[in-house]
C-alpha cells in the first residue's frame, strides 16, 4: 500500500477515503491511535489515506480534482479576526487595570 494523501486530521482523511471509495478505489485510513496523543490538537502527518499500489495514480488524480473543487477559505483583513489581535487588547486592559489597582492601594 502507498500513501495517496496526507490529511490535516482524521476527519479530512475519512472524507478523502470516502471520496475514493465512491469512485471505486479501496482505501485505508491510518493514524487513528496516534491522533489522540496530542488531545484536541491534530497530530500532524500521522493521518494518511493509503491505497493499493495499482490504484495510486488514479487516486492522486481524484484527490487533485477533490482539492480543486474544495472552496477556499475567505481572506480577511490583515489585522482583524486574529487571535493575536484580541490577546494584545486583553493584555493592555489587564496592565491598565493592575496599574490602577496599584495606584489606589
**Per-residue DSSP letters for 25-93?**
--EEEE-HHHHGGGTTS--TT--EEEE-GGGHHHHHHHHHHHHHHSPPPPP--TTSS-HHHHHHHHHHH
Residue 90 inside a domain? The answer is no
Q: How many separate domains does the chain show?
A: 1
The confidence score (pLDDT) of residue 72 equals 65
72-89 pLDDT tens trace: 655 555 555 555 667 788
Domain that holds residue 46: 2-69
Q: How far apart are CA 96 and CA 42, in angstroms?
A: 37
Residue 22 inside a domain? The answer is yes
The domain spanning residue 45 has which CATH number? 3.30.70.1530
Residue 37 has pLDDT above 70, yes or no: no
pLDDT-derived band at 31 (thresholds 50, 70, 90) equals confident
Amino acid at each position: 500500500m502507498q500513501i495517496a494523501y496526507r490529511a490535516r486530521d482524521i476527519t479530512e482523511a475519512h472524507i478523502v477515503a470516502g471520496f475514493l471509495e465512491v469512485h471505486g478505489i479501496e482505501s485505508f485510513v491510518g493514524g487513528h491511535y496516534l491522533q489522540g496523543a496530542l488531545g484536541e490538537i491534530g497530530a500532524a502527518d500521522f493521518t494518511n489515506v493509503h491505497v493499493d499500489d495499482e490504484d495510486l495514480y488514479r487516486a492522486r488524480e481524484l484527490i487533485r480534482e477533490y482539492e480543486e473543487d474544495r472552496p477556499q477559505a475567505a481572506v480577511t483583513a490583515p489585522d482583524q479576526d486574529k487571535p493575536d489581535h484580541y490577546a494584545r487588547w486583553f493584555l493592555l486592559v489587564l496592565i491598565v487595570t493592575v496599574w490602577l489597582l496599584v495606584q489606589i492601594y
